[in-house]
Amino acid sequence: MQQFLLGGLIVVLIVVVGLVLWLARQSAGAQQKSAAIESQMNDLRGELRSVVNAQAQAAGQLSSIAATVTQRLDSVSKSLTDGVAQSASISAKSQDAMREELKGTQSMMERIYKQLGEFQEVSRGLSSAQQSLESVLGGAKTRGILGEITLERLLEDTLPQAQYATQYRFTSGEAVDAVIRLRDKKLLAIDSKFPLDAFRRIQSEGEDARRAFVTAVKGHADSIAKKYILPGEDTLDLALMFVPSETVYYEMLQSTDSKGVALDAYCRERRIVAVSPNTLYAHLCVIAMGLRGMQIEENARKLAGGLAGLQKQLGNFSEAFDKVGFHLKNASQAYSDSGKKFDKAELALEGMLASGEVAAGVQAELPLPTLPASGDR
pLDDT bracket for residue 138 (50, 70, 90): very low
pLDDT of 132 reads 46
What is the pLDDT at residue 374?
47
Q: Give the CA radius of gyration of the chain.
A: 68
Q: How far apart are alpha carbons 155 and 137 in whole angstroms?
A: 23
The band of 133, judged by pLDDT with boundaries at 50, 70 and 90, is very low
CB crowding 149-166: b at 16 or more within 10 Å, else e: ebbbebbeebbeeebbeb
Average pLDDT of span 149-173: 90
State mean pLDDT over 73-77.
63
pLDDT tens-digit readout, 353-370: 777 665 555 555 555 455
Instruction: Give 137's contacts (C-beta < 8 A, 6+ positions apart).
Output: 143, 146
pLDDT confidence tier of residue 165, bands split at 50, 70 and 90: very high
Domain ranges across the chain: 138-301
- The pTM of this model reads 0.46
Residue 69, pLDDT above cutoff 90: no
- The model's confidence at residue 228, banded by pLDDT at 50, 70 and 90, is very high
- Give residue 327's pLDDT: 80
Distance, in Å, from the CA atom of 260 to the CA atom of 82, rounded to the nearest integer, reads 80
Confidence of residue 34 (pLDDT cuts 50, 70, 90): low
In this predicted structure, the answer to whether residue 137 has a pLDDT above a threshold of 50 is: no
**Can you tell me the mean pLDDT for 21-42?**
66
Q: How confident is the model at residue 129 (pLDDT cuts 50, 70, 90)?
A: very low
pLDDT band at 225 (very low <50, low <70, confident <90, very high): very high
Determine which of 108-112, 167-171, 342-346 has the lowest per-residue pLDDT on average: 108-112
Of residues 364 and 96, more confidence is placed in 96
| pLDDT of 295 strictly over 50 | yes
Write out pLDDT tens, residues 318-358: 777 778 877 888 888 888 888 887 788 778 888 777 776 65
Residues 45-60 have a mean pLDDT of 63
- 201, 237, 196: which is closest to 220 by C-alpha? 196
Q: pLDDT band at 274, cuts 50/70/90?
A: very high
Greater model confidence, 199 or 221: 221
Could you tell me the pLDDT band of residue 190, with boundaries at 50, 70 and 90?
very high
Across the beta sheet with 175-181, the strand order is 164-169, 175-181, 187-191, 235-242, 272-275
Contacts of 152-160 with CB under 8 Å at 24 or more apart are: 152/178, 154/277, 154/280, 154/281, 154/284, 155/180, 155/284, 157/281, 158/281, 158/284, 158/285, 158/287, 158/288, 159/284, 159/287, 159/288, 159/291, 160/291
Compute the mean pLDDT over every residue in the chain, rounded to the nearest whole number.
Answer: 75
- The pLDDT confidence band at residue 111, using thresholds 50, 70 and 90, is confident
- pLDDT bracket for residue 238 (50, 70, 90): very high
Rounded to an integer, the average pLDDT of 270-277 is 93
Query: Residue 71 above 60 pLDDT?
Result: yes
Q: Which helix (H) or strand (E) element contains residue 178?
A: strand 175-181
Distance CA 255, CA 214 (A): 7
Provide the percentage of residues in the chain whose pLDDT is more than 90. 18
Q: What is the mean pLDDT of residues 62-70?
A: 65
Q: Is the dihedral of CA 356, 361, 367, 371 positive or negative?
A: positive
Give the pLDDT score at 242.
Answer: 93
Instruction: Find the range with the poorest average confidence among 4-13, 277-286, 317-326.
Output: 4-13
Instruction: Please report, for residues 38, 314, 322, 336, the alpha-carbon distance to residue 325 in angstroms, rounded to integers and kept in the order given.
Output: 154, 16, 5, 16
170 vs 89, more confident: 170
d(CA 224, CA 226): 5
* pLDDT higher than 90, residue 36: no
